[in-house]
Amino acid sequence: MSEILTISNLTITPKNALSRVLVNNVSLTLSAGKTTCIVGESGSGKSLTALSVMGLLSSQLQARGSIKFLGQELTSLDNKALQSIRGAKIGMIFQEPMTSLNPVLTVGYQIGEALTAHLGLKGAALKLKVASLLQQVGIPPARANSYPDELSGGQRQRVMIAMSIACEPALLIADEPTTALDVTVQAQILQLLDELKTRMNMAMLFITHDFGVVADIADDVIVMFRGEIVETGTKKEVLTKPKHPYTKALLACVPDAEGKKQLKPIDYAWLKDKKAAA
Amino acid sequence: MSQENLKQVILQAKNLVKTYTQRSGRFGFGSTKIKALNDVSISLKAGSTLAVVGESGSGKSTLARCLLQLHPFDSGEVLFQGQDLAKLSGQALRDVRKHLQMVFQDPFASLNPRMKVGEIVGEGLLIHGLGSADEQKEKVHQMLKRVGLEVADAQKYPHQFSGGQRQRIGIARALVLEPKVVVCDEPVSALDVSVQAQILLLLKALQREMNLSYIFISHDLRVVRHIADEVVVMHQGSIVEQGAVKDIYNAPQQAYTQQLLSAIPGRKAA
């Protein structure tokens, strides 16, 4: 099993308030062909962790630590060098496909941009590759001439996926890619991502707040709470035998489709006592 | 929730039809009619929760707004305790509206940022002229405490609160008039799962205490399973299937309902 990405001791703080730690000492490893879900509530630092991998952190924030991608240290690269990796070896998908797509360009053109920039494809070869990508994500190739507003939310997210896998990345980062979608569409997109991951042997970093989604797509799970990783394990370990009190508490909040579970909100004061005792 | 109480229908919609006209064709010169509600009938029993589920564009939010007479509809009727709401106007409609309240999805957008929490929660009392100023203030304080906020919070502005606290303010605002029916339009969709659990439990507790009847609009079938007694499944403006939650979840009859239920994330793994 080959390691694609290794984050060691990543700490993120605002530049003007270095004592406020947003992400604290996070370390993780992603392997080829595996989906790792980072799950946590808002403010847990899950998105910041993903953004720092892509070098897309806000200029107001400062990241310390090491991010090694295919043996290369990303934190020491300049923006130009990062650009040649982003969109080529690291693909990205975000939550809201409409805000990620340019409304005045056809989707075919937008998928083609990465191919031209990174692989130098042009003309008929480019057209052919775009058509094949659309087909791979389940959109009729004729839709290459459509504008984003002519597509449904699910189709737009498929276009985003086509863009992100265009250059056959080693790592795909998906930040809440199905949160804005209807449940039936969500199920389709999750299945598509899972198939692509397996077929292209990608490492996938999947950010979500939904344990149901975790159960569907994850191989490994990382639980974050207030900027720290509180638990790591395989999907089965974390979902069925959680060790950390926060993971247990978070799972107890999730309603199940069978309605058997007694919902229990998190008692933060109790968690704090527990932490102090430990 | 006594047995007799359950049998009594408090709010009923009969054959609601609502069409929107949308511009279409080149430069929007043409128009197409979209049926947002196509012959929709539901009935809510006193003290119970009726969930309306569906995907975006299914008409569930339009239904919520039509029930409260916030949207005009083309035909059909809405009966509250047997009274046709469309036939009421002016003071009579205002009197009934006191009993029909709404909790909105986005606790950031639905609270006036220039008003203090005390004013937001107390506005309904003021409009309906219920009690003296002191009594109103007392009532607002009671309500804030009841939803898990503090009396001092009445002096604060909405931006000083987290999403979950704002939703508590929205609930206090709706419940201060002691309504009979509360329409909750995706009340927990914008919240973290731990906050979602808090709000769901709060809604359940308030329902028991105040004998409230809920219409609960949601796209999240896991949440609905926990809060609802009965469920209505909508798709493209029509009701596909309705019945007791247990029956629908355990033995869905319609293909669309089956599809929705099997798409619930985490089901395969469970």
Mean of the pLDDT values across residues A69-90?
A: 92
The Cα–Cα gap between A111 and A126 comes to: 10
Q: Do A257 and B55 touch (CB under 8 A)?
A: no
Closest by CA position to A209, among listed A43, A58, A11, A55: A43
Q: Do B265 and A250 touch (CB under 8 A)?
A: no
| B105 pLDDT more than 90 | no
Q: Do A183 and B55 touch (CB under 8 A)?
A: yes
**What pLDDT does residue B5 have?**
47
| A89 pLDDT more than 80 | yes
Digit-coded pLDDT (tens) for B3-49: 444 469 999 999 999 998 877 777 777 788 888 999 999 999 999 99
Mean of the pLDDT values across residues A143-153?
A: 92
B/e letters for A227-242, b = 16+ CB within 10 Å, e = fewer, are bbbbbbbebeebbeeb
Digit-coded pLDDT (tens) for B196-235: 999 999 999 999 999 999 999 999 999 999 999 999 999 9
Q: Does A269 touch chain B (CB under 8 A)?
A: no
B261 is written with which tokens? 């239920």
Mean of the pLDDT values across residues A90-117?
A: 92
How many other C-beta atoms are found inside a 10 Å radius of the C-beta of residue B180?
A: 21
The tokens 């994850």 sit on which residue?
A: A218
Which has more pLDDT, B89 or B111?
A: B111
What three-state secondary structure class fits A22?
A: coil
DSSP A203: E
Q: Does A240 touch chain B (CB under 8 A)?
A: no
**What pLDDT does residue A144 have?**
95
**What pLDDT does residue A29 have?**
97
Q: CB pairs under 8 A, 24+ apart, for B90-94?
A: B93/B69, B94/B127, B94/B128
Question: Are the beta carbons of B31 and B207 closer than 8 angstroms?
Answer: no
Digit-coded pLDDT (tens) for A191-217: 999 999 999 999 999 999 999 999 999
The alpha carbons of chain B give a radius of gyration, in whole angstroms, of 19
Which DSSP string corresponds to B126-193? HHTT-S-HHHHHHHHHHHHHHTT--GGGGGS-GGGS-HHHHHHHHHHHHHTT--SEEEEESTTTTS-H
**What pLDDT does residue A269 have?**
79
Q: Do A257 and B249 touch (CB under 8 A)?
A: yes
State the pLDDT confidence band at A259, using cuts at 50, 70 and 90.
confident
**What pLDDT does residue A230 have?**
96
Strand order from edge to edge, sheet including A3-14:
A23-31, A3-14, A61-69, A72-73
A69 is written with which tokens? 């991608």
Which has more pLDDT, A278 or B10?
A: B10
Mean of the pLDDT values across residues B45-57?
A: 94
Residues of B in contact with A250 (CB under 8 A): 193-194
Which DSSP string corresponds to chain B? --HHHHHSEEEEEEEEEEEEEEEESGGG-EEEEEEEEEEEEEEEETT-EEEEE--TTSSHHHHHHHHTTSS--SEEEEEETTEEGGG--HHHHHHHHTTEEEE-S-TTTSS-TTS-HHHHHHHHHHHTT-S-HHHHHHHHHHHHHHTT--GGGGGS-GGGS-HHHHHHHHHHHHHTT--SEEEEESTTTTS-HHHHHHHHHHHHHHHHHHT-EEEEEES-HHHHHHH-SEEEEEETTEEEEEEEHHHHHHS--SHHHHHHHHTSTTTTT-
Q: Does B226 touch chain A (CB under 8 A)?
A: yes
How many other C-beta atoms are found inside a 10 Å radius of the C-beta of residue B172?
A: 26
Digit-coded pLDDT (tens) for A164-174: 999 999 999 99
ipTM: 0.81
Question: Are the beta carbons of B200 and B227 closer than 8 angstroms?
Answer: yes
Q: Do A184 and B225 touch (CB under 8 A)?
A: no
- Name the pTM for this structure: 0.87
Angle, helices B193-210 vs B163-175, to 10°: value is 20
Question: Are the beta carbons of B58 and B238 closer than 8 angstroms?
Answer: no
The Cα–Cα gap between B13 and A238 comes to: 46
| B247 pLDDT more than 80 | yes
Q: Do A254 and B222 touch (CB under 8 A)?
A: yes
Which class for B81: exposed (0-12), middle (13-18), buried (19 or more C-beta within 10 A)? middle
State the pLDDT confidence band at B266, using cuts at 50, 70 and 90.
confident
The Cα–Cα gap between B263 and B141 comes to: 43
Q: CA of A200, closest CA in chain B: separation in Å?
A: 24
Closest by CA position to B218, among listed B261, B266, B186: B186
Q: Do B269 and A182 touch (CB under 8 A)?
A: no
Amino acid at A109: Y
The Cα–Cα gap between B73 and B37 comes to: 9
Mutation target for A interface from B192, B216, B221: give the one with most A CBs within 10 A. Answer: B192
**What pLDDT does residue B111 have?**
92
**What pLDDT does residue B2 have?**
45
Digit-coded pLDDT (tens) for B115-150: 999 999 999 999 999 999 999 999 999 999 999 999
Minimum mean pLDDT range among A88-102, A238-252, B166-180, B218-232: A88-102
**What pLDDT does residue A257 have?**
86
State the pLDDT confidence band at A98, using cuts at 50, 70 and 90.
confident
The tokens 């305790």 sit on which residue?
A: B81
- Please, which residues have CB within 8 angstroms of residue A137's CB and are 6 or more apart in sequence? A158, A159, A161, A162, A165, A192, A196
Share of chain A above pLDDT 70, in %: 99
Which DSSP string corresponds to A139-169? --GGGGG--GGGS-HHHHHHHHHHHHHTT--
Mean of the pLDDT values across residues A46-62?
A: 92
Average pLDDT value over all residues in chain A: 92
The Cα–Cα gap between B154 and B161 comes to: 12
Mean of the pLDDT values across residues A49-57?
A: 92
Angle, helices A153-165 vs A183-200, to 10°: value is 10
Q: What is the dihedral of CA A42, B58, B7, B47, to 10 degrees?
A: 20
Q: What is the dihedral of CA A12, A16, A19, A25, to 10 degrees?
A: 10
Residues of B in contact with A225 (CB under 8 A): none
| B1 pLDDT more than 50 | no
State the pLDDT confidence band at A96, using cuts at 50, 70 and 90.
confident
Which DSSP string corresponds to A57-124? --TTEEEEEEEEETTEESTT--HHHHHHHBTTTEEEE-S-HHHHS-TTS-HHHHHHHHIIIII---HH
